[in-house]
Structure 1
Amino acid sequence: MKPLRTYVYIDGFNLYYGQVRGTPHKWLDLQAMCNAYLDPTKNSVLKIKYFTAHVVPRRGDPGQGTRQQTFLRALATFSSIEIILGHFLSHEVSMPLADGSGYARVIRTEEKKSDVNIAVHMLHDAFQNQYDLAVLVSNDSDLSEALRIVSTDLGKKVAILNPHKNPSRELKKYALFYKQLRISVLAKCQLPQTMRDSNGEFHKPPRW
């Protein structure tokens, strides 16, 4: 039997917060990660789509954006990886104080469009018959309707690689197979410390 033509859709922030935040394993080789979880005799990974947004550096961490840009530069060296960007939206909101004495005005920053972008790309690629199997790296239940349409209406197979501890039942019910990502595996799927592209040599950020 021929391997399934496979597209992988990675929710970058879901993966970051579910697995690598607070670890020394953020310099993640996405292609190696896919190879570790997807049997090459059954899956031919044709495309990896990575969905993220440019981070807004925190006041105490001005280098945050530079580190992310270096990581995206590393991913761009892979012909199989496509980076799709959303954006952050910051706005003032009123939040209750912990002691219940009143409210405070705070800045809330929210990442926008990644879940919409994932759903649109997954559906578009299915309509274009680009894949036999769509692998979603996320635990965001908002994507369940896209998975339902892809699997039920368009006749494509769907699989889940879950970055979080608790699986989404809404996603899992459409999956041909489900696997839990583990940091012990991701620790072995790291990019080289030094990389090169058309602009020259660059290195893994020290804090990554």
Structure 2
Amino acid sequence: MACPSEVRGEKPAKAGFFISGGNLLRTRVYIDGYNLYYGCLKGTSLKWLDLLALFEKQILPSVTASINGKPLISALRPLAIKFFTAPILEQAAKADDSIQCQERYHAALSKHQPGRIETIKGYYSITQARAKAIDSVDLKKWPRDCLETSVWKLEEKQSDVNLALHAVKDALLGGIEHVVIVTNDTDIAPALDMIRANSRATIGLVIPTTDHQRVPNTELAEYAHWVRTHITEAELRASQLPRVIQGGRRPTVKPDSWFTRPDLLERAIKLGEAELGSRSKVFQWLGKPNQHYGGQAPLDLLETTNGEQVIQFLEAWAASKRQP
């Protein structure tokens, strides 16, 4: 179930989209990719996220808000979403396939809804620095009294600046009447202040968190006409891209490591290839509803705690073929 929005200083309207005097508000969503990843996606199997579906079908329809007593209805522009991110550095990647997975995801976004999502890239900076180490014996010891140590300092550069500049430009010059910001970064506050002071645009704020651990930043919320306090796991799960996305020279495929149980998937692929002959045929079988599992697709079952059933079935199938 979608969570309600919190609307500051306005009387909530009935649930639905947004309206202003009966006219649709020209809307664009500005997403801080770093904030979204660490607030909602890290450590989950939901990273193959369809950003357009999430906001067009889940987030925006759930928000209840009104401005000057009029309910709001949004109309996403042809270019509906601007996604601000940065390519992962090999020196700091947490997995061997991190760079490849990110590249696949960015390609999938551009192919799935051409012209609807623009990915704007900053960059990562990695430098050596000195920092105060927390005293393991006295955790409350002040930083000034702690020992210094050498650390690697990894920073994402330009993403927040790019987001602020694009949002301000679109609101002041691009005809965007409804600016939806997805971040909890206070660095964006001056941009929201400028939009409020120099345009009539409505500002929405979506806090990218699934568990309310990140409270909406007070300074950001002051400039917003409405605030969506979190994104639910159900909304993320309902907004996943297809596993295979056609386009270009070759299709873009969801990385195996982004599934809930990549270990089970790997076993299923190996067992299936031995019987069916190719990886593509295995995925065709895995993706089809199967009466053996009550009409559920084996690939969906592999994403649950009952995934071992698929492995047992494939092992039994292989054993039966070896029988004289």
CA distance in 2, matches of 1:34, 1:101: 46
User: How many Å separate the matches in 2 of 1:26 and 1:152?
Assistant: 36
Greater strand share, 1 or 2? Answer: 1
C-alpha RMSD over aligned residues: 1.9
1:10-49 Cα offsets, whole Å, 9 max, x none, are 0001000001111110000000111111139811111200
Q: Which has the higher contact order (CA 8 A, sep 6+)?
A: 1
TM-score for both structures, normalised by structure 1: 0.93
Residues 147-178 of structure 1 show CA distances to partners (whole Å, capped at 9, x for unaligned) of: 11112222211001111331111111122211
Q: Number of paired residues? A: 208
List aligned pairs for 1:39-50, cutoff 5 A: 39=61, 42-46=73-77, 47-50=80-83
Residue 159 of structure 1 is matched in structure 2 by: 204
CA-CA distance at 1:119 after TM superposition: 0.6
> CA–CA distance in 1 between the matches of 2:254 and 2:152?
31
Unaligned runs of 5+ in 2: 1-21, 63-71, 136-144, 259-324
Q: How do residues 124-203 of structure 1 correspond to structure 2 at under 5 angstroms?
A: 124-164=169-209, 165=212, 166-179=215-228, 180-203=230-253
Note the C-alpha offset of 1:101: 7.8
Match of 1:104 in 2: 149
Larger CA Rg, structure 1 vs 2: 2
Task: Flag the 1:59–1:68 CA change in 2: closer, same or farther, 3 A.
Answer: closer
Answer 1 or 2: which has greater helix percent.
2
Q: Which amino acid aligns with 1:64?
A: S
- 8 Å contact kept, 2:124–2:154: yes
Provide the C-alpha distance between the structure 2 equivalents of 1:65 and 1:182, rounded to a whole number of angstroms: 27
1:181 & 1:189 partners in 2: Cα distance?
Answer: 12
Letter in 1 for 2:151: V
Taking structure 2 as the reference length, the TM-score comes to 0.61
Shift of 1:98: 4.2
Among the aligned pairs, what percent are the same residue? Answer: 32
**C-alpha contact 1:20 1:183 (8 A) present in aligned 2:** no
